[in-house]
Chains A and B, each alone.
Chain A
Amino acid sequence: MRKARNNSLISEALLGLLLLAWLFPFVWMVFTSLKLENDVVSKTFSFFPRNATLANYTKAFKSTYILRWMLNSFITSASCMILTLAVDAPIAYAFAKIKFPGRNMLFWVIMAGMMVPFQVLIIPLYLQFNSYGLINHLVTVYLPRLALPIGVFILKQFFEGIPDALEEAAFMDGATRLRIFIGIIIPLGTSALATVTILSFINCWNDFLWPLIAMNDTERYTITVGIANFQGTHGTQYSLIMAGAVIASIPQFIFYVIFRKKIIAGIAMTGIKG
């Protein structure tokens, strides 16, 4: 008995060490950002920030577009998630509840869309948006991201679980489809809608290749492109780069703390389809 207990103590301790190691890069990011550049690139290695300073943060805010990039990311991601819901939810409802001809085939065509890697689309999309004169406009960042097949899938699964009887009763009372959709389906589907919202938000916020191509002016960058650009323009100012990385991570960290359960449930749901 005692031996088993010792074993479990040892394994808990080992796990604890592993967890600390896994988190350590974050700690290092914060420590570096608080150091003076001279301390960072000095021959004598120091672990803790000896002369802790916020200078890198003020510099990041003052001499770069970091706030602008965050705002851009926020605008594009928020628009993306709202519009994704606006296009995904109605079709998911149609797939779940309305028997119309061609429904199954259409559903599989859309699910097949999940197989298309976005990279195949970048050249044609660029030429397309270029011909619309929309290159370098923020709408360009999120428009190609709106049709989210996995979102349709998740919502359809959920809507199918809503009993038909509810709709039938409303039909008897003379309600239209639209009223049923808005009055019954949407309120009952909030949890699935929230999951899709979050997936779409993460999807858009983390997008890199497309905004890199579609945005030319530095002040139009999203935060992901902006931080990558930091690396290029401030090459060896590591403490400044890390301050930028910390600033860029704060919204995502807050987002995670608030929506932890939903995010994890959303990802788990993408797996259960298998």
Chain B
Amino acid sequence: MPCPCLHSALKRQSGLMIPGNKNTRDGLLFSLPFLIVFSVFMLYPLGFGLVISFFKWGILGDVQFVGLNNYISLFKDDKFYSSLWHTFEFVLITTPALLVLGFLFALIVTSRSRLKKTAENVFFIPYIFSMTVVSTLWAWIMQKQYGLLNQIVMAFGGKEIGWLTDPKWAMISVSVATLWWTAGFNMILMSAGIKQISPEVYESASIDGASYLQGVFKITIPLLKPTIVLCLILQVIASFNVFGQVYVMTGGGPYGMTRVLIQYIYETGFKYFKMGYSAAMSYILFFIIMAASVIQYIALGRSKE
């Protein structure tokens, strides 16, 4: 159902309408299918989830109001902190790496290189494949005894490394697979931005004797700033929501060293059936993502004008 404020707004204005003009009715009718789906599968669960987070809620309908207890015990839960930290770790590793790589790839595909079309395809194509395919593939490449990566390491005389089983490496390995998978997405966004910069700017700069690198730092990056900010915000949101790669590649191991927050939310809710506790955690994550987006937007977006 559409939100109630709309109803009152409609009543207020409909008197002003010219007879025979059915704008209000039509506008509402055309919006209705979307609004129904949006309300039932988005607004309602969003509110319902918040309600659940104040209850002790088991799967068999054993429901008990506990007020803020879920939130309170959450802040005493070591597993919550460690999972949150692993998520942060993933965000901190992947965000800068993906932005820089996406930007470099965007420079390549907007350059004069004869390979630029091929490059666009090659860099982008991993993104098309589903996360599970990419994760199983990299889990195999990074497998300790027979994986390709360690075969290369050993060919150069090194010792085999437990890419996914050594706590030192596991999160980095998952990040590398993610990098390979999604760098192409940022590349597309950034190259679309670069293509909007007028070539004349570069021409006049090169007449003035500017080098290629000066062009990149003095022209491309400043003019691309709105796109970079957008990429940054989208990337941080995406990285905070990490789950699948970790779930498939390491299962959260070794010793829970890569268990990310969404995995903990999933396990709490669907393995231990503590739905209320799980919902409370998902709201904390939601809050963190919102806060991170708003902070980035205010800090970086303002200078756009």
Contacts and interface: CB of A to CB of B under 8 A. Distances in A.
A163 B139 CA distance: 53
A19 to B, nearest CB: 5
Contacts of A213: 266, 270
Contacts of B136: 227-228, 230-231, 241-242, 244-245
B135 interface: yes
Contacts of B275: 123, 127
Nearest to B268: A123
A40 interface: yes
B74 interface: no
A206 B243 CA distance: 13
A238 B41 CA distance: 39
Q: Which of A102, A152, A267 has the most CB of B within 10 A?
A: A102
B53 to A, nearest CB: 9
Interface string B180-192: 1000010011011
Contacts of A22: 122-123, 126, 180
B9 to A, nearest CB: 4
A123 B231 contact: no
A128 B44 contact: yes
Nearest to B118: A19
Contacts of B108: 15
A193 to B, nearest CB: 15
Given A12-B114, A115-B290, A125-B45, A274 B137 contact: no
Given A120-B49, A252-B129, A91 B192 contact: no
Interface in A93-130: 93-95, 98-103, 105-106, 109-110, 113, 115-128
B132 interface: yes
Interface string A231-267: 1000000100110110011001101100010011001
A253 B129 CA distance: 8
Contact of B229 (A87, A224, A274): A274
A143 interface: yes
A120 B128 contact: no
Nearest to B145: A41
Contacts of A272: 192
A133 to B, nearest CB: 14
Contacts of B151: 45
Interface in B1-35: 2-3, 5-6, 9-10, 12-14, 22-24, 26-35
B97 interface: no
Contacts of B122: 19, 22-23
In the A-B complex, list the 4 residue pairs whose CB atoms are closest, starting with the nearest.
A100-B27, A268-B192, A124-B45, A274-B230
5 contacts: A42-B146, A91-B33, A124-B45, A125-B41, A223-B130
Interface of B: 2-3, 5-6, 9-10, 12-14, 22-24, 26-35, 37-38, 41-42, 44-46, 48-49, 52, 57, 108, 113-115, 118-126, 128-133, 135-141, 143, 145-146, 148, 151, 180, 185, 188-189, 191-193, 226-227, 229-231, 237, 240-241, 243-244, 247-248, 262, 265-266, 269-270, 275, 278-279, 282-283, 285-286, 289-290, 293
Interface of A: 11-12, 15-16, 19, 22-23, 25-26, 28-29, 32, 40-42, 45, 86-88, 90-91, 93-95, 98-103, 105-106, 109-110, 113, 115-128, 143-144, 146-147, 152, 177, 181, 202, 205-206, 208-209, 213, 223-225, 227-228, 230-231, 238, 241-242, 244-245, 248-249, 252-253, 255-256, 260, 263-264, 267-268, 270-274
Given A41-B145, A106-B3, A120-B286, 16 more contacts: A25-B126, A26-B125, A90-B33, A110-B38, A120-B46, A124-B45, A147-B41, A152-B34, A208-B130, A209-B244, A209-B262, A224-B131, A253-B129, A264-B124, A272-B192, A273-B230
